[in-house]
Amino acid sequence: MKIKDAEIISLMQDPRTQEKGVRALMDAYQSRLYWHIRRIIVDGAIAQDALQETFIKAYQNFHQFKNDSQLYTWLYRIATNEALQQVNKMKKMQKSDEDPEYYMQNLVADNTEGNAEEIQILLQKAIQSLPEKQKLVFMMRYYDDLPYEEISKIVDMSVGTLKTNYHYAKQKIEEYIKENYER
Amino acid sequence: MKDFDLEKLERKNIYKIPENLFENIQGKVLGGFNDFDLEKLERKNIYRIPGNLFENIQENVLNNVLPAKKVPIFKLNWAYAAAASLALIFGVTFVLNNDDSKGKENSQETFAMNNQESKTESEIAYETLKSDLTSVENNNQTIENQNNKTSYVQDNSNGGEKMKSQTVKLVPKHNEAQMNEYLESFTNSEISELASNSTQDVYLDLYN
């Protein structure tokens, strides 16, 4: 049975049921948040750490959650910040002469399943070629189907800017795939 | 065909080709991209994930957040705490008192047993003296000299000859009188016969 956000919030707010609340929160959102983080970070181990840190921060700062926003919006915001921090760390640790975009695209190739389709691999590489904001908007809209209004709360951008960013992101990705796809 | 000139021969492709060959080829090459629509592409997660990923994440998160949280969950109720303390005090007192009375009973039993034991030891001493009357001959071997001295008594209780060490305690006076009476019952000849063994006892005494 899928537990509702209101129930999770209620459990989390009562110290006696907080443990149950954390478990319910993780059960409900771990998969969505993991894949959101994983598409940004690509590396599996670092993505796992980032998700753990997301839940720990959510637990520790739950008193800051306001009921006027959706629970998943708040969680996506924490997860996105955590993922971007990890990516920045990764970029700082990489070799100085290596192109960050090239580095991320190689990471995609190293982390994909053996039976993954070429077009899907190309799509992930194309996403990694995007500027950060376009990348975030595209992933949240394309994969998670989040409304622009919610994405706006997560990344602190206006809905109009988000729509423009999504349009450009999609255009760049299609061009990238047309250029690189080998039949 | 003596006048044949290859240069003058018309260049012709004589092989059969399917109709619209080149249109089809162009269609196959470009068609995929023209039809390509990102929105129609299946949303897939193509990255490898380890087994038990989410179980591990949940375990790590709970290990991290729960120990710190368990302390504030416990609310100390002073009334219950005071009641529990009183119950503990009374309980411990009751147990100790019980132990004391048992201890007294035990000590009484032990005392009785010790009495019995001392009596037995006295008897043993008496038996020893009785069986070894050479000690009478020796004037130096008074009862006081035997106090807490270790002597070797032949233990024949198990049939074997086993020497065991034991402490000879003070023989009570009534035993002494009993012994004197016993000695008086001996004839002079018996006493002289017993006196012949006195040398060995002196010898043993040197090593005691």
The answer to whether A92 touches A112, Cβ cutoff 8 Å, is: no
Q: Which candidate, A142, A145, A146, places its Cα nearest to that of A166?
A: A142
Return the residue in B39, B46, B70, B73 with the most chain A beta carbons within 10 A, the one to mutate for interface testing.
B46
Residue found by looking up tokens 């948040």 in the block:
A33
Asked if the model's pLDDT at residue B117 lies above 70, the reply is: no
Q: Which residues of chain A have pLDDT under 70?
A: 1-2, 96, 183
Which domains, ranges and CATH numbers included, belong to chain A?
1-93 (1.10.1740.10), 97-183 (1.10.10.10)
Structure-block tokens of residue A48: 């796992």
Residue A89 DSSP symbol? H
Q: Which of B204, B114, B197, B194 is nearest to B152 (CA)?
A: B204
* Greatest C-alpha distance within chain A: 59
Q: Which of B29, B38, B54 has its CB closest to that of A174?
A: B38
Is residue B68 less than 8 Å (CB to CB) from chain A? Answer: no
Q: Would an 8 Å CB–CB cutoff place A164 in contact with chain B?
A: no
B51 interfacial to chain A (CB closer than 8 Å): no
Does pLDDT of B136 surpass 70?
no
Residue A105 in 3-state DSSP? helix
Alpha helices in chain A (DSSP H): 5-13, 18-41, 44-60, 71-93, 100-111, 118-128, 132-142, 148-155, 159-180
Pairwise CB contact (< 8 Å): B48 & A59? no
**3-state secondary structure (DSSP) of residue A139:** helix
Residues of B in contact with A120 (CB under 8 A): 41, 44, 46
The reported pLDDT for the residue numbered A178 is 87
- Chain B residues within an 8 Å CB radius of A172: none
* ipTM field: 0.87
- Distance, in Å, from the CA atom of A90 to the CA atom of B145, rounded to the nearest integer, reads 95
Residues A41-65 have pLDDT tens digits of 999 999 999 999 999 999 999 999 9
Q: Is B151 helix (H, G, I), strand (E, B) or coil?
A: strand
Q: Return the higher-pLDDT residue of B150 and A97.
A: A97
pLDDT digits (tens, 9 = 90+) for B67-106: 655 555 556 678 888 888 889 998 888 888 876 666 566 5
Distance CA A77, CA A40 (A): 13
Establish if B48 touches chain A: CB-CB under 8 angstroms.
yes
If pLDDT is split at 50, 70 and 90, which confidence band does B132 have? Answer: low
Among candidate residues A24, A62, A60, the one with its CA nearest the CA of residue B66:
A60
Cα(A16)–Cα(A19) distance, rounded to whole angstroms? 8
